[in-house]
Amino acid sequence: MTKRETYTLLALIAVYYEQFEVNQQKIDYWHEVLRHHEVEDLRQNLLQHVEVSPYPPKISDLMRKSAAVSRAIPDCRDSAFIVPISWKPASEEVVQAELAKMRQILGIVRGEV
């Protein structure tokens, strides 16, 4: 995105929102953040913002990803790659010792009905 495209985008925001002022400092700072983005993507996000908000957009409003991407919920196969299984089951002796502790705490005596 060129600085001229940044100015064009800010001028478009000013058309939609009367309270939005465009000045050189704003152009410079917005361009610093937006220069690596495609102007058409930002313009489409601006149009979506205008449809739902009476307030001028912030930079983050223009850079947001589509809802389909941000709301994707991984299934168990995707999660298997994200969360590695690094635990191993306890040995039988440890399991029985922990069960015995729980029975003692709860006052359970084995063999009683």
Q: Identify residue 58 by its one-letter amino acid code.
A: K
Q: What tens digit of pLDDT does each residue of 69-103 get?
A: 556 677 777 676 666 666 678 899 999 999 999 99
The chain-wide mean pLDDT, for the chain, equals 86
Query: Does residue 68 carry a pLDDT above 50?
Result: no
| Interatomic CA distance for residues 6 and 2, integer angstroms | 6
Tokens of 46: 């601006």
* Range 5-28 average pLDDT: 95
* Range 24-33 average pLDDT: 95
Tokens of 18: 């009367």
Q: Closest Cα partner for 21 from 30, 13, 31, 29?
A: 13
Tokens of 67: 């809802």
Query: Does residue 3 carry a pLDDT above 60?
Result: yes
Share of the chain above pLDDT 70, in %: 82
CA angle 40, 51, 39 (to 5 degrees): 10
Q: Which domains does the chain have, with CATH numbers?
A: 3-70 (1.10.8.200)
Query: Does residue 65 carry a pLDDT above 80?
Result: no
Cβ distance 17 to 25 under 8 Å? no
